[in-house]
A and B are shown apart, each in its own frame.
Chain A
Amino acid sequence: QSALTQPASVSGSPGQSITISCTGTSSDVGRYNLVSWYQQYPGKAPKLMIYEVNKRPSGVSNRFSGSKSGNTASLTISGLQAEDEADYYCCSYAGSSTLVFGGGTKLTVL
């Protein structure tokens, strides 16, 4: 059970859109539509942003969206704002009641 692969860092200017990828295998991301995304500020607990690939919990801005193609899931943030600067983690169900996280991506708003 290996960690999902995310880019270490991404950046964008305010108002732009960015996409963070999360690549797994046919045993996790590719097999199940059970990918979630979390936002984490330094020293804080993660916050759920997306679940079941593309569903947003109540209270999460519609600037955040999710998608999946094959073994890769993606998180897109549109209309980038300074407050979006944080670390982002994906998580996938991996079968047999186990889960796997991605390595995390640091988003910098220029």
Chain B
Amino acid sequence: QVQLQESGPGLVKPSETLSLTCTVSGGSISGYYWSWIRQPPGKGLEWIGHIYSTGSTNYNPSLKSRVTISVDTSKNQFSLKLNFVTSADTAVYYCAKYGMVNNYFDYWGQGTLVTVSS
């Protein structure tokens, strides 16, 4: 059973960079796609982007200029960096396993709240 766990700072200052890591256990990160999704408090889900285990990425066009997703197969981890954050980036951030062929997220982390505030 694949499990995902997000980790990183819960508080980030405006204009700084949000950095999160997702650790995958119970299976290899290789050969699959992995995604970041966020949910502002009281609002809906927003797809941020995904990465294949070889490092190929795709991003939400609305966030593309500020987002970088990377993967470290040796650690079975993938990461998210979001630059120049504002209060609008305050959200619960989820990492998830993505089935590219079928377009679904079948395994999710528990989510981590990141607050942007000075």
Interface residues of A, Cβ cutoff 8 Å to B: 1, 3, 32, 34-36, 38, 44-48, 51-52, 55, 57, 89, 91-93, 96-104
Contact = CB atoms under 8 A, between A and B. Distances in A.
Contacts, number: 68
Contact of B103 (A38, A52, A103): A52
Contacts of A45: 94, 108-111
Interface stretch (B20-28, B58-66, B76-84): B58-66
B45 A101 contact: yes
A104 B43 CA distance: 8
16 contacts: A3-B44, A34-B103, A35-B103, A36-B105, A38-B45, A46-B105, A46-B108, A48-B104, A51-B102, A52-B103, A91-B45, A96-B58, A99-B60, A100-B47, A104-B43, A104-B45
B72 interface: no
Nearest to B108: A45
Interface string B63-105: 0000000000000000000000000000000100001101111
Interface residues of B, number: 23
Given A1-B60, A97-B58, A98-B58, A48 B106 contact: yes
Top 6 nearest A-B pairs (CB, nearest first) are A34-B103, A45-B108, A51-B104, A97-B58, A104-B44, A36-B104
Contacts of B16: none
Contacts of B45: 38, 46, 89, 91, 101, 104
Contact of A57 (B37, B61, B103, B106): B106
